[in-house]
């Protein structure tokens, strides 16, 4: 790759712009993650915004744009701590999210994630044939922007954001549009229930996930709600005499979702088994080539001294925060603190290598972070139990229903989540940098800056969303509407698993069934690969434990995206001409706009709800017939999807 003629790369204005984008996308991703359990990759929309802003300021270069998107990508990664921190509130240990503890653990874990990818860069990026789909796409968009000098992608992002904002405001704010359609039916004692979410953010997420992932999640949803829930509702008692719909949801929440957790654990372990040989070969090749002279700009990483100091700083931060957490309620906690820090470093590096390799194959969005978190929860809890058996854990950790042990497990897991998430994304950024001729060490510095900004944003956003909406089963104030609580699927699952291990109340039967199912899914996937097909076992497992309204709408977005891309591919084949990269990415920009628009509207409504002390301050539902919101919701949702398809196909036509 020929370097850019100008070396304007890591600049003050770029760092400021990257920080502003990081603030917006971090808030969006935390909201989206707590609502549906998924986040969106921010590198591509960040690159488009950076190109437009720096072009207006003048003197921008492809390398400076790349640094901005590298920094802003922390928004799509560090925000993954939404999967753990709320578990401390759900477990009843925290009443809110303390700033320094939440930000400090996020930052320390994020820095470790950056450091762990540095020794993996040559093995998994420079000297690897891994495709890195998102990293390559970001590089193509940066190149197209540098060559063409137009802002079509930014207009698409803003347009999608406006449509999603209007729809979300009418739905979640005015309550004029329904946001979910649910169908419940009974056959004897068996209850069948399927839900579809009227969410443009889910459509956009499905478009970005792709057909294979979307269909895998749909299959998981069918297994859960078409087989698991009906069978269990037919054979389990209903002592509380719940209505059929409520009973079906209760069975899914406390039974079927644990089947999904077991399947996720097995699918993730199999992924690690597949990844270990190539990762080890890459590491051996990297260490064997240490003596080679590195190209000053294109191959130079952060210095060994800087890496060592950052590693020590991160370890010290983790030790201090863990000790601060335990000191008020425990005596003799230092063995536990030392073991937890060592666990974060060793387990974090292994998981970073696994997720980084998988990100190189299928992209950051499809990397098995959810399954890794569940494995980490089990191992963290078993580590504490082992320390207790050896007499090294304070007795108070197991008192009061093991509340402190559960909370400390979630705390350790939060740092690991930040580490794994950053590692998962950083290699994509380094691939983008390699393709545009960037300096790796400058990208690594930019990402650390992004971690600092993201860590500062996460605590207030978590507090804001919790006070405005609450989490499923946990409300900050009496009288709040539980139907509008954020589902927070991962934190709830993590809290239940950790507490179940310590209280010996975890339903291992459901987990065992899930593990068997996971092994079957792995076997089916291996057989399909021989026929050049695939069934991602992790995607099926995720579909089992996410709400049906999420899986079905995601699958719809994936199928819609496949149809649009297939039509585009057919038209290009007929004309024997390729569309420019910027036109090919319009669908991605519109989908990202849907996610950003709905997410930011959710954050804005959360601010309003928190200020007024009620979550339905703007509702006009009482002034319209009850039958009207579902009809209007379906009509508006269909119109928005039609607009999305039309704009995407128009961009393809203009590209020809």
- Using CB atoms within 10 Å of the CB of residue 602, give its burial: 0 to 12 exposed, 13 to 18 middle, 19+ buried: buried
CA 122 to chain CA mean position, Å: 26
Task: Report the C-alpha gap between 522 and 502 in whole angstroms.
Answer: 30
Task: Report the C-alpha gap between 124 and 284 in whole angstroms.
Answer: 12
**When comparing pLDDT for 46 and 345, which is higher?**
345
Return the residue matching tokens 């209850």: 191
Task: Report the C-alpha gap between 68 and 11 in whole angstroms.
Answer: 9
The three state secondary structure string of 419-476 is HHHHHHHHHHHHHHHHHHCCCHHHHHHHHHHHHHHHHHHHHHHHHHHHHHHCECCECC
**When comparing pLDDT for 194 and 523, which is higher?**
523
pLDDT of residue 27: 80
Task: Report the C-alpha gap between 64 and 51 in whole angstroms.
Answer: 9
Structure tokens at 251: 């069975």
- Which of these ranges, 44-48, 115-119, 471-475, has the smallest mean pLDDT? 44-48
Contact between residue 279 and residue 353 where contact means Cβ atoms under 8 Å apart:
yes
Contact between residue 271 and residue 358 where contact means Cβ atoms under 8 Å apart:
yes
pLDDT of residue 574: 62
Residue-wise pLDDT for 600-641, tens only, equals 777 677 667 666 666 677 888 888 888 888 899 999 999 999
Residue-wise pLDDT for 190-200, tens only, equals 888 888 888 88
**When comparing pLDDT for 314 and 63, which is higher?**
314
Residues 6+ apart with CB under 8 A from 245: 182, 184, 191, 193
Task: Report the C-alpha gap between 598 and 602 in whole angstroms.
Answer: 6
Return the residue matching tokens 């204005």: 13
Q: Where are the alpha helices (DSSP H) in 58-188?
A: 62-72, 86-90, 99-121, 133-148, 152-168
Structure tokens at 586: 């319009």
pLDDT of residue 583: 47
Residue 451: CA atoms inside 13 Å, Cβ hemisphere, count?
27
- Using CB atoms within 10 Å of the CB of residue 65, give its burial: 0 to 12 exposed, 13 to 18 middle, 19+ buried: buried
Handedness of CA 580, 584, 588, 593 (dihedral sign): positive
SS3 197: strand
- Which of these ranges, 121-130, 288-297, 366-375, has the smallest mean pLDDT? 288-297
Task: Report the C-alpha gap between 594 and 161 in whole angstroms.
Answer: 5
**What pairs with residue 474 in β-bridges?**
471
- Using CB atoms within 10 Å of the CB of residue 479, give its burial: 0 to 12 exposed, 13 to 18 middle, 19+ buried: exposed
Residue-wise pLDDT for 185-237, tens only, equals 888 778 888 888 888 888 887 887 778 778 888 898 899 988 988 998 888 88
Q: Which of 192, 195, 191 is nearest to 178 (CA)?
A: 195
Task: Report the C-alpha gap between 558 and 182 in whole angstroms.
Answer: 21
Residue 54: CA atoms inside 13 Å, Cβ hemisphere, count?
32
Furthest-apart CA pair in the chain: how many Å?
A: 75
* Backbone φ and ψ of 548, nearest 5°: -60, -35
Average pLDDT value over all residues in the chain: 79
Task: Report the C-alpha gap between 351 and 278 in whole angstroms.
Answer: 14
Return the residue matching tokens 């975890």: 506
Residue-wise pLDDT for 550-595, tens only, equals 888 888 998 998 888 887 777 666 665 554 444 446 887 788 778 7
pLDDT of residue 361: 58
Residue 149 scores a pLDDT above 50: no
pLDDT of residue 295: 47
Angle, to 10 degrees, between the axis of helix 548-575 and the axis of helix 211-222? 150
**What pairs with residue 195 in β-bridges?**
182
pLDDT of residue 399: 65
pLDDT of residue 358: 65
SS3 191: strand
SS3 202: helix
Residue-wise pLDDT for 88-98, tens only, equals 988 888 888 99
Structure tokens at 463: 């507090």
pLDDT, average across residues 426-450 = 83
Task: Report the C-alpha gap between 510 and 499 in whole angstroms.
Answer: 16
Residues 6+ apart with CB under 8 A from 270: 518, 522, 537
% of the chain residues with pLDDT over 90:
14
Q: Which of 179, 201, 177, 198 is nearest to 619 (CA)?
A: 177
Task: Report the C-alpha gap between 54 and 74 in whole angstroms.
Answer: 20
Contact between residue 208 and residue 605 where contact means Cβ atoms under 8 Å apart:
no
pLDDT of residue 37: 65
pLDDT of residue 312: 95
pLDDT of residue 1: 43
CA distance to 71, 124, 128, 430, per residue, from 360 (Å): 19, 8, 9, 11
Contact between residue 347 and residue 379 where contact means Cβ atoms under 8 Å apart:
yes
Residue-wise pLDDT for 452-493, tens only, equals 988 998 999 899 888 888 887 788 877 777 767 777 777 887
pLDDT of residue 196: 83
DSSP class of residue 536 equals -
Q: Where are the alpha helices (DSSP H) in 223-333?
A: 229-235, 244-251, 257-288, 304-326
The enclosing H or E element of 577 equals: none
pLDDT of residue 157: 77
pLDDT band at 398; cut points 50, 70, 90: low
pLDDT of residue 163: 93
**When comparing pLDDT for 187 and 273, which is higher?**
187
Of 170-184, 259-273, 395-409, give the range with the top mean pLDDT.
170-184
Residue 293 scores a pLDDT above 50: no
pLDDT band at 294; cut points 50, 70, 90: very low
Q: Is the pTM of this model over 0.95?
A: no
Length of the chain: 656
Contact between residue 360 and residue 131 where contact means Cβ atoms under 8 Å apart:
yes
């Amino acid at each position: 790759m020929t370097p850019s003629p100008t070396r304007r790369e890591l600049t003050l204005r770029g760092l400021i712009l990257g920080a502003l984008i990081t603030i917006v996308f971090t808030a969006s991703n935390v909201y989206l993650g707590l609502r549906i359990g998924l986040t969106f990759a921010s590198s591509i929309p960040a690159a488009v915004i950076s190109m437009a802003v720096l072009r207006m300021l003048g003197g921008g270069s492809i390398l400076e744009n790349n640094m901005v998107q590298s920094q802003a990508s922390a928004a799509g990664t560090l925000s993954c701590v939404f999967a753990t921190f709320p578990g401390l509130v759900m477990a009843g240990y925290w009443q809110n999210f303390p700033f320094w503890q939440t930000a400090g653990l996020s930052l320390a874990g994020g820095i470790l994630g950056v450091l762990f990818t540095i020794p993996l860069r040559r093995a998994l990026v420079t000297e690897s044939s891994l495709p890195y789909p998102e990293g390559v796409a970001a590089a193509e968009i940066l190149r197209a922007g540098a060559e063409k000098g137009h802002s079509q992608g930014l207009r698409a992002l803003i347009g999608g954001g406006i449509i999603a904002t209007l729809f979300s405001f009418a739905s979640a704010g005015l309550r004029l549009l329904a946001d979910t359609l649910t169908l419940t039916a009974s056959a004897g004692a068996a209850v069948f229930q399927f839900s579809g979410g009227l969410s443009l953010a889910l459509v956009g997420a499905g478009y970005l996930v792709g057909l294979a992932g979307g269909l895998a999640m749909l299959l998981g949803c069918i297994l859960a709600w078409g087989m698991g829930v009906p069978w269990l509702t037919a054979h389990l008692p209903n002592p509380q005499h719940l209505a059929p719909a409520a009973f079906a949801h209760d069975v899914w929440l406390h039974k079927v979702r644990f089947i999904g957790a077991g399947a996720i654990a097995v699918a993730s372990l199999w992924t690690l088994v597949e990844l270990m040989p190539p990762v080890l070969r890459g590491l051996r090749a990297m260490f064997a080539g240490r003596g080679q002279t590195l190209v000053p700009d294109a191959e130079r990483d952060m210095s060994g001294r800087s890496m060592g100091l950052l590693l020590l700083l991160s370890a010290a931060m983790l030790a201090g925060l863990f000790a601060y957490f335990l000191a008020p309620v425990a005596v003799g906690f230092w063995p536990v603190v030392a073991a937890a820090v060592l666990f974060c470093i060793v387990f974090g590096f292994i998981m970073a290598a696994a997720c980084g390799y998988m990100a190189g194959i299928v992209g950051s969005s499809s990397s098995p972070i959810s399954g890794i978190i569940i494995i980490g929860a089990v191992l963290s809890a078993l580590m504490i139990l082992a320390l207790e058996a050896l007499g090294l854990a304070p007795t108070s950790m197991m008192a009061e229903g093991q509340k402190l042990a559960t909370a400390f497990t979630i705390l350790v897991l939060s740092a690991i989540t930040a580490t794994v998430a950053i590692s998962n994304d950083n290699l994509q950024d380094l691939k983008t940098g390699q393709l545009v001729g960037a300096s790796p060490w400058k990208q690594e510095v930019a990402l650390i800056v992004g971690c600092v900004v993201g860590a500062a944003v996460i605590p207030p956003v978590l507090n804001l969303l919790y006070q405005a909406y609450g989490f499923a089963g946990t409300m900050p104030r009496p009288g709040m509407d539980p139907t509008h609580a954020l589902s927070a699927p991962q934190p709830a699952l993590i809290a239940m698993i950790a507490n179940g291990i310590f209280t010996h109340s975890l339903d291992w039967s459901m987990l065992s069934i899930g593990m068997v199912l996971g092994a079957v899914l792995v076997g089916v996937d291996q057989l399909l690969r021989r026929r050049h097909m695939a069934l991602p076992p992790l995607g099926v497992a995720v579909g089992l434990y996410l709400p049906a309204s999420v899986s079905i709408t995601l699958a719809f977005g994936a199928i819609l995206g496949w149809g649009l891309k297939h039509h585009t591919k057919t038209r290009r084949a007929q004309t024997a001409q390729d569309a420019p990269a910027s036109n090919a990415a319009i669908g991605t920009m519109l989908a990202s706009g849907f996610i950003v628009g709905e997410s930011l509207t959710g954050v804005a409504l959360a601010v309003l709800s928190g200020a007024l002390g009620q979550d339905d301050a703007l509702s006009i539902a009482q002034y319209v017939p009850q039958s009207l919101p579902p009809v209007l919701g379906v009509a508006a949702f269909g119109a928005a999807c039609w607009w999305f398809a039309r704009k995407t196909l128009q961009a393809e036509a203009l590209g020809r």
